[in-house]
Structure 1
């Protein structure tokens, strides 16, 4: 029986049973899973196998920036599949070269080349590899509040709890990045938080030995950790420390890049030029797995006459490259980045601020563009994170109301596709309002 024949007439229950019989899921206790069955999508909408519609307020894993099933991107993938479905990375491929050109059009000044990977995790892996080769040093500094992927070095560079059972990679050191709402530095305001966080980072560098540190790896805006928009001058301060001690600065734009914050890259808001930029997710909305490293002039020159010990069978895969080319064209033609900025400024930011005034359970709202988070607490005085049980109730309420949320720890991440309309954004906010009201009852 063909795939199409098998799919005909399947129900949610059929798909779930098949999934639970054969599929091993990530970051999960397998026996307790009850996955949502999704059949199709269009724009900001998804449908299950029983025909129920959901507003995707998660962008899946914050990656479908242009929404689901954009016809121009689907057509580009189909055309490339008909021409050349795969090719070894050692060959020159026109679609790969055009994808690199289009990516670099949005890179900071002085960036010349792209090393393509299959996702954000291996983008960070290879950026670390480049920094170590270029500096001849070993250590990598990254933040405790971070997520950089699930491969060997990327997961150890990650700061959250998932790092601990996976610490097989060498030379990783963590520090506290700024987070004024839960300051580690007893700061009185954002400016003091910035100053003290930079002093803390300086002391970590000095204590670890500057001559041993290859790279500082930071998400421009930490996403999984809670959409932690840094103080305006923090990244410039990190850049200055990296320059002072000869350290490579890597900015991870995997989640925050390509429209998510209302800019092409999140770093555009912070007046900082790193040495390497990693990306994935939004660059082609995840239609075909792809990521990469944007490489600045100095590192490119180094590898002109030094061997690069890195490679991937599917680096620059033609189908993924076609998806990148079409996605970046569509984003420019349809002013999708501008839409993300407008929706953030006119709908999400003021809407979330109103919710914060109405619901005592909201400790803080923060974000840019279509990249926001609502931090929920038991009470505003103690700032004790809202319980897992309560968060589960909120998530279920939103699903029952036809909105697919991104819930992490004690936060609702408000991360719809960059194409979201004002009406859809307001619909999502209204359901969040209902879920928080139901929690009080």
Structure 2
């Protein structure tokens, strides 16, 4: 098929996610390599969002591909009730990457069903039914994970499941209160959460679920003392602390897991994306030794046909090895520092840039109509004039491929991007922000 035929068939036979189907204008990609994509006309694009912030190790990684081929030659599938080498190896590697309180892994197919099973495990373990999560969160679009989600993508699932409670994010940039210090802000948000826990009935809450660092909803980085404060609340009230590391995990923040930036040990960690970097789909739920021991004599009522799929686990083993042998975390911290400097320069140059947030190679640019009032460039949940779409289109025309959410532009390239590549691409961002600053405020 040529590119035109690929697009025609895509539009005729595929239902594309998060899209009005009649207005689709997809690109047909013929090949990929490293951080680049090529369409059928030979145009090159740079993947500045690592697709869906999952292709941490880039496109065409031969070490991952060879590991998958080797597993194909051995066998492609064996049910979860059998022990398989790739599955056993990866479970051990994941636990060894985790804090010393973690015990076992339940493998899933992706991030959404990792979160589904995490809250199910927490409810079975505690005997409680309520689950708390934040408004500016995305945990998946399946029914349970969609109810866990706080942003507008939960609306088609409503009326929702009883017992799913929302609380506010530590979103300091948008807070009406002035804080004299980061510590004061963190204490404020923890105490507001405590208040809500008491109103909901602390003995009824099974889990508090948080994206350790909020992802698509704006890369919201909490104050340093926030997560330790939530950890203390969970300990005080017997609540399971679940960190959703689906997007932020596996090196994205310069640590293997984002919670390591805050010196906390969760009870449950969900992961996906960077565990296999998109080569074969895989997710998982890592649970503490205490929770794992509970299921030694209680039924674990969780099951998936493809739990710990051998091909996915082979890819996962290769990815974990690659992170370590190629010193990816060191690289992320080095190049991430450059990204931070560039973002701060853009904030100084353009009034349309209200805030920039970054950690490692995980960042967002928040756009505003007015920097003093902090009015978002587009209203929450709506973009009536298509402003964000126009900005993303201008970036695409320059070969800079990413996506926006609300009034935020996400910048989260593959973790293998070089400083030179990053600087080349951020010059394109500079050009587009200049135009937007002059025409859209």
Q: Normalised by the shorter chain, which TM-score bucket?
A: over 0.9
Write out per-residue CA displacement over residues 177-217 of structure 1, whole angstroms, 9 at most, x where no aligned residue. Answer: 20110016554543332111111100110000011100000
The residue aligned with 1:141 is 132
CA distance in 1 between partners of 2:228 and 2:291 (Å): 20
SS at match of 2:331: helix
The residue aligned with 1:108 is 99
Match for residue 399 of structure 2 among 399, 402, 409: 402
Contact preservation (8 Å) 2:101, 2:265: no
CA distance in 2 between partners of 1:24 and 1:405 (Å): 21
- Mapping of 1:325-364 within 5 angstroms? 325-345=317-337, 347-364=338-355
SS at match of 1:105: helix
Contact preservation (8 Å) 1:141, 1:217: yes
The residue aligned with 2:17 is 26
Moved more, 403-412 or 60-69: 403-412
CA distance in 1 between partners of 2:374 and 2:101 (Å): 44
The residue aligned with 1:172 is 164
SS at match of 2:11: helix
Contact preservation (8 Å) 2:64, 2:319: yes
Measure how far apart 1:102 and its partner are: 1.4
The residue aligned with 1:431 is 428
Q: Is structure 2 residue 369 aligned with structure 1 residue 378?
A: yes
- Mapping of 1:169-208 within 5 angstroms? 169-183=161-175, 187-208=179-200
Measure how far apart 1:353 and its partner are: 0.3
TM-score (norm 2): 0.96
The residue aligned with 2:290 is 298
Measure how far apart 1:418 and its partner are: 0.5
SS at match of 1:325: helix
Q: Is structure 2 residue 62 aligned with structure 1 residue 71?
A: yes
SS at match of 1:307: coil
SS at match of 2:417: coil
The residue aligned with 1:3 is none
SS at match of 1:378: strand
Contact preservation (8 Å) 1:185, 1:197: no
> Where do 5+ consecutive residues of structure 1 fail to align?
1-6
Measure how far apart 1:340 and its partner are: 1.0
Write out per-residue CA displacement over residues 219-270 of structure 1, whole angstroms, 9 at most, x where no aligned residue. Answer: 1001011000100010000000000000000000000000100111111110
Contact preservation (8 Å) 1:176, 1:184: no
Match for residue 256 of structure 2 among 253, 264, 268: 264
Contact preservation (8 Å) 1:180, 1:189: no
Match for residue 31 of structure 2 among 5, 23, 40: 40
Measure how far apart 1:169 and its partner are: 2.4
> Where do 5+ consecutive residues of structure 2 fail to align?
none
For these two proteins, the number of residue pairs brought into alignment is 431
Contact preservation (8 Å) 2:217, 2:406: no
Match for residue 315 of structure 1 among 297, 307, 327: 307
CA distance in 2 between partners of 1:185 and 1:179 (Å): 11
Measure how far apart 1:162 and its partner are: 1.2
The residue aligned with 2:119 is 128
Q: Is structure 2 residue 392 aligned with structure 1 residue 411?
A: no
Moved more, 333-342 or 353-362: 333-342
Contact preservation (8 Å) 1:406, 1:415: no
Write out per-residue CA displacement over residues 108-147 of structure 1, whole angstroms, 9 at most, x where no aligned residue. Answer: 1121211000000100111101100110000000011111
Measure how far apart 1:36 and its partner are: 2.1
CA distance in 2 between partners of 1:306 and 1:47 (Å): 52
Write out per-residue CA displacement over residues 285-316 of structure 1, whole angstroms, 9 at most, x where no aligned residue. Answer: 01101000111111011000000111000000
CA distance in 2 between partners of 1:184 and 1:306 (Å): 47
Measure how far apart 1:381 and its partner are: 1.4
The residue aligned with 1:213 is 205
